[in-house]
Structure 1
Amino acid sequence: MDASLNQDDYVAVSRDEFVAGMQVPVDIFLKLSETNYVMILKEGAKVHFEQMHFPEKAEWLYVRRSDYHKCVGQNLSIAGIVLESDKISFEKKTIFLSKAADSIFKEIEHLGFDHQALEHSKIVSRSIQTLVDNKPDISAVINMMSNLNDELIRHAMMVSAISVIIAKNMKWTLAQNLEKLALGALLHDVGMKELPDEILETPRHAMTRDQTAAYESHVYRGVEILRSMPSISDDIIAIVLEHHENAPGQGYPRRLRDIKMNPFARVVALADCFADVVMESVNNPHPKTPAQAVAYIEITLGQPFHKPAFQALKQALQGPAPIAVKKVI
């Protein structure tokens, strides 16, 4: 038993994250009650649940909060190995990467946005760029990511990937810009993690005024979370703050027009809307195809986004982006 700690000192980790035969980077616990946790694997031990008479119903295991950074690091290492393999399908690579992304959001939620969380987030966003480089077909990217289970992770990864695809079709080739864009897009909804399930599970059209205000506050909360790291780029902060703005100035929270929006946020705002339309969610029970989504944005919504970004999105549906000269923005 680990009697010195209480439930707030532990982080839940899905049993599926522990691959048979792998060495665990930290002590692993099984929860017996709200106050009792028993160690079932010691740091460095290999995972062999089938030899432990492990309870089938125990879907969640627990690690000490202070150890969770190590778990994230291992998830990233596994995802990195998978991404480099030519024998693993794009779909499986996406699943492993989503597990790494999920662990990062959990890391931020439980441990705050510190240097390690920032570096871990950069690794995932770069991995998303690698996926896009190897699979530039936007429809294939959407199909693979639509199968991911966690809605927030699915949306974050899809917006990051689509943002990079749009930017490449806008002829952005400077690595630093693409990295900032991918990272900011991955973290654009980081403030959503703190919203109660009651709000997250309510369609926007059915929200009360107070619920709408609470929902829209996620952009400010996201900025607060990221600003805890002084080294975070102003462009990434702008992405989080402005990803619900649009060209006519009808978005939120500041009703900025296109000319006032950060250039990175212009791209992510479009990618965010596009991902919402093609992905099934509580707000969108009947997702559209990529072509239908573009038509919906253009005709039904009146194309309220940065024109060059929207043209780049349309071009992306016609095929991979052409090679372009480097352009600093």
Structure 2
Amino acid sequence: MRQMGIEFVTIGDKLARPIFTSDGQVLLGKGVLLTAGYISKLKNLGISAIYIEDDRFQDVKVEDAVSEETRREALQSLKDATDYVRSGRKIDGAKIKNSVNSVIEDCFNSHGVLVNLMDMRTKDNWLLPHSVSVCVMATMLGIARSLDRHRLQDLAVGALLHDVGLTTVPKEILDKGEDRLGKEEREIYEKHAEEGFNIIRRTGELSIVAAHVAYQHHERVDGTGFPRGIQDPDIHLYGKIVAIVDLYDKLINGAMGARPLPPHQACEVLMGLSGRYFDLSLVQLFLKNVATYPTGISVRLSTGEIGVVVDQNKSIPMRPVVRVLMERHRFVEPKEYDMIKDTTIFIQDVLR
């Protein structure tokens, strides 16, 4: 399989991975042949890229740290939780714990899989899939940080519910985008961190530490964050972790109206903000566990050749294995560069 920008998908292409709605329902299943109607619908839903089958890449597998079933379970649990909040009821803490325990188990069993899979999200409700992805990435970073399962559960619960306070924010504000909010709108938006803290705390079945993840995920180590403007020593480790993966997921998926960035550019943004906004050691650890160039994407090499990333080098994520398809605008016999061994070659650009 390989990833393809939606504008380049053609009638008859076959889906290599299913596409889900924001609450985990299958929109289009794996193996579906794309029609003009399906392609138009995907564009209207705001999906920018999909995975398609390609005979030249039948051997290429895009690994995910968690199974599709685990993601759907977490999405459904989170949807139920937000529905409860909107109707004035308490969150079912036991259901949330069961979901995050599945995430933790899958992440332990993934044996160091890099953050690699690109989400195929609809724009109608970015919040739920965003929160699930933040939960998965935070758990992976927690494992890399050698947290035990008990501590991982608090981290994962807080990560899954980190934005639950946004259920109190009007949709028109969420759709507008953070950088375009007026003063009053920003004040309303920034209350979501404290609202989330109170929602989780009232549940009774979830730890106060998990509640503080929601409270602190917009704090910054230099004290410029919100809601309290606290600095590094006063920000909990889990708050620091979720702050990093929250921004990374927003950058690569374009939450709140923003345009998505390729992962390698998102990684550069995180590095640029480390030490000021984010804990430097945590950013460095996270980037060791991120596929800078995810498997399945098309790239242009410094040689001018065009190919697809087909495998990862986990020791150096910035140097993947690339299978070349084109040279000087013509198809060539496929060949591969392992960029750890082919040290003079580098990726010049990511193509959609």
Please state which band the TM-score falls in when normalised by the shorter chain. 0.5 to 0.7
- Residue pairs, 1:1-329, within 5 angstroms: 90-91=67-68, 93-110=70-87, 112-114=89-91, 117-135=92-110, 136-141=112-117, 143-144=118-119, 146=121, 150-172=125-147, 174-289=148-263, 291-299=264-272, 304-317=277-290
Deviation for aligned residue 1:302: 6.3
More strand by share: 2
What TM-score do you get using the length of structure 1 for normalisation?
A: 0.63
Secondary structure, in 3 states, of the residue corresponding to 1:139?
coil
Decide whether the 8 Å contact of 1:145 with 1:157 is kept in 2: no
Deviation for aligned residue 1:279: 1.4
Decide whether the 8 Å contact of 1:95 with 1:148 is kept in 2: no
Deviation for aligned residue 1:274: 1.3
Gaps of 5+ in 1: 1-13, 18-88, 322-329
Distance 1:270 1:16, change over 3 A: closer
Decide whether the 8 Å contact of 2:244 with 2:270 is kept in 1: no
Distance 1:96 1:265, change over 3 A: closer
Decide whether the 8 Å contact of 1:169 with 1:315 is kept in 2: no
Residue matched to 2:331: none
Decide whether the 8 Å contact of 1:145 with 1:154 is kept in 2: no
Distance 1:15 1:258, change over 3 A: closer
Distance 1:196 1:90, change over 3 A: same
Decide whether the 8 Å contact of 1:112 with 1:225 is kept in 2: no
Letter in 1 for 2:267: V
More helix by share: 1
Decide whether the 8 Å contact of 2:201 with 2:208 is kept in 1: no
Letter in 1 for 2:113: D
Could you report, residue by residue, the CA deviation over 1:65-99 in whole angstroms, capped at 9, with x for unpaired residues?
A: xxxxxxxxxxxxxxxxxxxxxxxx94465345423
CA RMSD of aligned residues (A): 2.8
Deviation for aligned residue 1:201: 0.8
Distance 1:300 1:188, change over 3 A: closer
Secondary structure, in 3 states, of the residue corresponding to 2:167?
helix
Distance 1:161 1:145, change over 3 A: farther
Could you report, residue by residue, the CA deviation over 1:93-148 in whole angstroms, capped at 9, with x for unpaired residues?
A: 5345423432332233325225xx1111111111222332344434334x247579
Distance 1:273 1:110, change over 3 A: same
Decide whether the 8 Å contact of 1:156 with 1:185 is kept in 2: yes
Distance 1:303 1:248, change over 3 A: closer
Could you report, residue by residue, the CA deviation over 1:37-84 in whole angstroms, capped at 9, with x for unpaired residues?
A: xxxxxxxxxxxxxxxxxxxxxxxxxxxxxxxxxxxxxxxxxxxxxxxx
